[in-house]
């Protein structure tokens, strides 16, 4: 081999050797780096995914190939240290939150996933903390106090409806009500929160086996008849007998469970009924019939009824325009003047500067107003302003401007009438044709007032007791039973028969007299009156004229029925209810010797242009000096911010005297307040006065100007000759109930 070839071989070997030497040059075996570790998130969830504010959710996560994880925002963990790569956490939630999970592997690779937990507002759950009845066992016709207390309730409803203590409106979310119980009743309270969530509770008032015995009238003249009525409720009697020869199992059988019998004793007699229960237990009841000389005069029955919260100007301010053509239509000339409002009078709301004149109200139901002590005393606009009440002790009608009514209209909740225009609205004969007819053809007054410048409860105290005995305001429920003697106790003392009828509640239940055995049991549902007027006594035939007592009081339907004509309620429905009672009287055998007095308990915060007038204070009880010891009732005998005493009447209110002996087409201009009704009863049936107020009206001739000469004038039993009918109920206009009831239409024009 030549040297060149050998040199080439040696160089190649050397080169090969050099290539295989480790660490030299770029020759040798090449090392490839491992691939990165990629983490995976196989689960990231919340249970539940939607919660209420304040609740918790459980966040769950599962990862693979992760060396560590983070969650933002952070979640609670047990102990210290990093979060586990697979785990869970209980998380409190207050707002909707999006959580982000980041999983990181050992090689630094990462994966992310998000999760949103929605938070909704928690429902407002109402709670009923109390719903009780006391007592839970009563006799039919007695009362039970239903008491309720709630938390988180925006409104409550009780079924069946319970009476409300004062003016109408929604039930308070906590309160109480005195409910008349006729039969075993299950009351259900439903409390509703602002978001519509409800809670319910029930309470049962049980009427046990009872026996009642009554006689009507309770006083008769010798030789006259009376009706003895009995009834067994809530049980079955195996036997019944009534002494003095009325009935017995061995002689004339007694009707079971209810019946009646005509009795005609010559002397005062007490009747005793004995019923035997199925277990052999005897139950007794008694009724006394007083036999006395006949009262003087021809009036045998006096009905009196007060509806709610209407001023004269609002109801009868247009009566003068109605009377003249209505009377002319039957050939009678209208000779009577009526003190009506000036149609151009303008009142200003001092808060909004809105100016309002009287206007025809477009709706037969409006929002409420407040006639309470302070508001009424401001409304009359005493000379010298509100501060003058603290020092004024004598008054004339010129001391009052009667122009502040708009100022106080929003002292109660309203939604539709910020200027208070509804205080100036009025109704006319198209709205209330039945009342306008009664006030046209019978007797009325344009000077008839409520007894006190305050709202319903103090005025109704005067109706029962001729005084409010220190009260300017209603007391809260649970107040002490008022000890003031009532007209019903006074009539018992004078042996005058009477009955008290109610539709919804019994205002007399506020008085201690109601608990007396000779008073409380004489209260009945108005359905009993309608039956007696139809000659039906406890299901048996009777004569209305004999079955009715001397005095009949009808409580207004202030409660669930909504028939009291109070603002918020439909006045036409209330007037139709009154018409049904008066029509029943006119169609009965008692019409020829009866008087029906209809009036209203106070002006309701509605405009009237006639000032109140000064009258004797009823007694020595000054405002805030209530004689009954407070039993812990909140706001008992509360005082308003304005002064004043009990020697000033309230506002004018409508009144009508309906009777065959009422002066036809008559309008009295004699100023009176409605305690004159008590004086009229007292003078007619020889009953002693209750206070200086009704004694004042006794001395002033009570209501005698409303009546014809009772010694010789024939009764007005039929309509005028030109009426074309001999039936009053056919001639008098029917009260419609089709008027628009829409408070959104209550607002009158302003300037």
Residue 525 has pLDDT above 90, yes or no: yes
DSSP code, position 21: S
- pLDDT tens-digit profile of 84-110? 999 999 999 989 999 999 999 988 899
**Which residues are bridge partners to 673 per DSSP?**
449
- Give the list of residues 6+ apart from residue 430 with CB closer than 8 angstroms, or none: none
Write the DSSP string, 648-670: B---B--EEEESTTBPTTEEE--
Q: Are 144 and 72 in contact (CB under 8 A)?
A: no
Residue 483 has pLDDT above 80, yes or no: yes
Which of 161-175, 349-363, 731-745 shows the lowest mean pLDDT across its residues?
161-175
- pLDDT tens-digit profile of 119-151? 988 788 899 999 999 998 887 778 999 999 999
pLDDT value at residue 210: 80
Q: Rounded distance, CA 638 to CA 352, Å?
A: 30
Residue 298 has pLDDT above 50, yes or no: yes
What three-state secondary structure class fits 606? coil
Q: Are 713 and 389 in contact (CB under 8 A)?
A: no
Which of 125-139, 448-462, 506-520 shows the lowest mean pLDDT across its residues?
125-139
CA dihedral for 561, 567, 573, 578, sign (positive or negative): positive
Residue 276 has pLDDT above 90, yes or no: no
pLDDT value at residue 222: 55
Q: Are 187 and 133 in contact (CB under 8 A)?
A: yes
Q: Rounded distance, CA 647 to CA 615, Å?
A: 5
Token duo for residue 383: 């000379």
**Which residues are bridge partners to 187 per DSSP?**
203
pLDDT value at residue 17: 43
Span 516-538, average pLDDT:
95
Residue 135, preceding peptide bond in cis (omega within 30° of 0): yes
Tokens 């009570």 sit at which residue?
Answer: 702
Span 482-495, average pLDDT:
96
Element spanning 577, H or E: helix 571-586
Token duo for residue 380: 């009359």
Q: Are 409 and 425 in contact (CB under 8 A)?
A: no
Residue 504 has pLDDT above 50, yes or no: yes
Write the DSSP string, 249-268: TTSSPPPSSEEEEEE--SS-
Which of 27-31, 467-471, 661-665 shows the lowest mean pLDDT across its residues?
27-31
Query: What is the rounded radius of gyration, in angstroms, for the C-alpha atoms of the chain?
Result: 41
Residue 12 has pLDDT above 70, yes or no: no
pLDDT tier for residue 278 given thresholds of 50, 70 and 90: low
pLDDT value at residue 237: 79
First CA to last CA distance, the chain: 137
Q: Are 199 and 125 in contact (CB under 8 A)?
A: yes
Q: Rounded distance, CA 589 to CA 584, Å?
A: 10
pLDDT value at residue 265: 74
Domains of the chain are: 40-120 (2.60.40.10), 127-205 (2.60.40.10), 231-290 (no CATH), 301-627+648-740 (3.40.720.10)
Q: Rounded distance, CA 741 to CA 746, Å?
A: 9
Q: Rounded distance, CA 558 to CA 506, Å?
A: 9
pLDDT tier for residue 280 given thresholds of 50, 70 and 90: confident
Q: Are 544 and 517 in contact (CB under 8 A)?
A: no
Residue 355 has pLDDT above 90, yes or no: yes
pLDDT value at residue 629: 93
Q: Rounded distance, CA 470 to CA 625, Å?
A: 5
- pLDDT tens-digit profile of 404-454? 999 999 999 889 999 999 999 999 999 999 999 999 999 999 999 999 999
Percentage, residues of the chain above pLDDT 90: 73
Mean of per-residue pLDDT scores for the chain: 90
- pLDDT tens-digit profile of 190-240? 999 988 899 999 999 877 778 899 999 988 765 568 899 998 877 677 889
Residue 6 has pLDDT above 50, yes or no: no
**Which residues are bridge partners to 537 per DSSP?**
540
Write the DSSP string, 38-83: PPEEEEEEEESSEEETT-EEEEEEEEES-SEEEEES----SSSSSP
pLDDT tier for residue 657 given thresholds of 50, 70 and 90: very high
Token duo for residue 475: 């007391």
Write the DSSP string, 439-506: HHHSEEESSEE-SSSS-HHHHHHHHHHSS-TT-SSPPPTTPPPB-S--HHHHHHHTT--EEEEESS--
Residue 4 has pLDDT above 70, yes or no: no
């Amino acid at each position: 081999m030549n040297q060149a070839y050998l040199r080439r071989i040696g160089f190649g070997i050397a080169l090969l050797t050099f290539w295989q030497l480790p660490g030299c040059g770029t020759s040798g075996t090449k090392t490839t780096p491992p691939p990165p570790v990629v983490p995976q998130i196989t689960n990231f969830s919340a249970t539940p995914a939607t919660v209420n504010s304040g609740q918790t959710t459980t966040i769950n996560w599962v990862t693979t190939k992760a060396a560590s994880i983070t969650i933002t925002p952070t979640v609670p963990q047990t102990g210290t240290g990093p979060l586990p790569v697979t785990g869970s956490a209980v998380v409190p939630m207050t707002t909707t939150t999006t959580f982000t999970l980041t999983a990181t592997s050992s090689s630094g690779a990462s994966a992310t996933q998000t999760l949103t937990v929605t938070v909704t507002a928690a429902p407002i759950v109402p709670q009923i903390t109390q719903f009780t009845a006391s007592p839970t066992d009563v006799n039919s016709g007695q009362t039970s106090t239903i008491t309720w207390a709630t938390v988180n309730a925006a409104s409550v409803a009780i079924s069946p409806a319970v009476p409300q203590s004062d003016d109408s409106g929604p039930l308070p979310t906590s309160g109480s009500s005195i409910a008349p119980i006729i039969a075993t009743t299950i009351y259900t309270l439903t409390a509703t929160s602002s978001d519509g969530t409800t809670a319910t509770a029930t309470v049962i008032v049980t009427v046990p086996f009872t026996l009642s015995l009554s006689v009507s009238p309770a006083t008769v003249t010798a030789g006259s008849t009376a009706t003895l009525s009995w009834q067994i409720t809530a049980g079955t009697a195996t036997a019944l007998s009534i002494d003095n020869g009325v009935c017995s199992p061995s002689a004339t059988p007694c009707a079971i469970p209810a019946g009646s019998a005509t009795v005609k004793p010559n002397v005062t007699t007490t009747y005793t009924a004995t019923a035997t229960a199925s277990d052999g237990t005897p139950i007794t009841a008694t009724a006394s019939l007083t036999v006395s000389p006949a009262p003087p005069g021809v009036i045998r029955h006096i009905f009196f009824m007060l509806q709610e919260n209407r001023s004269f100007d609002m109801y009868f301010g247009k009566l003068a325009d109605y009377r003249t053509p209505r009377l002319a239509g039957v050939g009678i000339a209208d000779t009577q003047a009526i003190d009506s409002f000036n149609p151009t009078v303008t009142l200003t709301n001092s808060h909004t500067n809105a100016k309002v004149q009287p206007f025809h109200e477009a709706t037969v139901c409006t929002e409420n107003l407040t006639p309470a002590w302070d508001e009424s005393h401001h409304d009359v606009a005493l000379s010298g302003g509100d501060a003058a009440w603290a020092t004024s002790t004598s008054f004339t009608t010129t001391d009052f401007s009667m122009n502040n009514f708009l100022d106080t209209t929003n002292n109660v909740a309203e939604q539709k009438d910020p200027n208070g225009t509804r205080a100036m609205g009025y109704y006319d004969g198209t709205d209330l044709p039945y009342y306008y007819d009664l006030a046209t053809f019978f007797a009325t007054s344009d000077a008839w007032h409520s007894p006190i410048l305050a709202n319903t409860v103090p005025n109704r105290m005067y109706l029962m007791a001729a005084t409010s005995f220190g009260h300017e305001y209603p007391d809260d429920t649970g107040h002490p039973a008022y000890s003031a003697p009532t007209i019903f106790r006074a009539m018992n003392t004078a042996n005058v028969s009477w009955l008290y009828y109610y539709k919804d509640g019994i205002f007399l239940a506020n008085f201690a007299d109601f608990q007396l055995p000779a008073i409380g049991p004489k209260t009945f549902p108005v359905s009993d009156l309608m039956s007696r007027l139809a000659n039906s006594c406890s299901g048996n035939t009777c004569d209305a004229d004999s079955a009715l007592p001397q005095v009949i009081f009808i409580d207004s339907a202030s409660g669930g029925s909504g028939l009291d004509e109070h603002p918020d309620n439909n006045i036409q429905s209330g007037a139709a209810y009154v018409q049904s009672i008066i029509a029943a009287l006119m169609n009965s055998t008692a019409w020829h010797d009866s008087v029906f007095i209809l009036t209203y308990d106070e002006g309701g915060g509605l405009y009237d242009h006639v000032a109140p007038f000064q009258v004797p204070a009823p007694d020595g009880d000054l405002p805030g000096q209530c004689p009954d010891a407070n039993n812990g009732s909140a706001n008992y005998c509360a005082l308003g911010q304005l002064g004043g005493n009990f020697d000033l009447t309230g506002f004018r209110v409508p009144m009508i005297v309906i009777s065959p002996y009422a002066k036809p087409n008559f309008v009295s201009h004699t100023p009176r307040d409605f305690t004159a009704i008590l004086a009229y009863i007292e003078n007619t049936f020889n009953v002693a006065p209750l206070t200086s107020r009704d004694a004042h009206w006794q001395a002033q001739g009570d209501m005698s100007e409303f009546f014809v000469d009772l010694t010789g004038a024939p009764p007005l039993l039929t309509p005028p000759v030109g009426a074309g009918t001999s039936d009053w109920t056919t001639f008098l206009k029917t009260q419609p109930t089709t008027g628009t009831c829409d408070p959104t239409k209550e607002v009158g024009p302003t300037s």
